[in-house]
Chains A and B, each alone.
Chain A
């Protein structure tokens, strides 16, 4: 009955590789997000995706690209991985067209780049 799920939970890879993280929500929400949490626990928004409209945080390198096959999924693709990409990545969803304002977060994917 998981609301927001992510796979994989852990991802260890080498510099220069390309990897993807998958996210699915079964809440029927209209908006999905990706956040990055660094080793100091600072949480930073990367993307917001609503009804095929993508909003990008201007500080996100273009090596990161979200892909949404349908309303319930928002996957994160990362090209040419760098050491600094090591972090925990959280997917989240919310219903911004309604009256609710809380975001539901997935369990996170811990990415380690060696």
Chain B
């Protein structure tokens, strides 16, 4: 089976940089994804790592190390609108289904 662990809550100030970690245990997967979800909204895609290393998309970057069973999402120049829940997810198996971590609630303060 597989499980993904994330911190439940992170707080940071506007303009700062925050890193949300994700550790996992799995027998195999295609890639690690990150999704953002605002309260009452739907998950929206942020980033994907199929290979080890850093992927950068604007203010967001994501990292994967398969040898360490570890990944992270890095958010730079935090804005108030970044307050949301962030989920890491493993893409795996037939059907390319996503197995999600428990989510990290990010609160950005002025």
Contact = CB atoms under 8 A, between A and B. Distances in A.
Given A43-B87, A101-B50, A102-B48, A90 B97 contact: no
Interface residues of B, number: 25
Q: Is chain B's interface secondary structure helix, strand, loop, or mixed overall?
A: strand
B71 interface: no
B19 interface: no
Interface residues of A, number: 26
Nearest to A42: B102
Given A41-B85, A41-B103, A43-B87, A103 B98 contact: yes
A57 interface: yes
B96 interface: yes
Contacts of B103: 41-43
Nearest to A44: B100
Given A42-B102, A42-B103, A43-B87, A104 B97 contact: no
A16 B97 CA distance: 29
Q: Is chain A's interface secondary structure helix, strand, loop, or mixed overall?
A: strand
Given A44-B100, A55-B94, A94-B96, A105 B87 contact: no
A55 B97 contact: yes
Interface of B: 30-31, 33, 37, 41-45, 48, 50, 85, 87, 89, 91, 93-100, 102-103
Interface of A: 31, 33, 35, 40-45, 48-50, 53, 55, 57, 90, 94, 96, 101-108
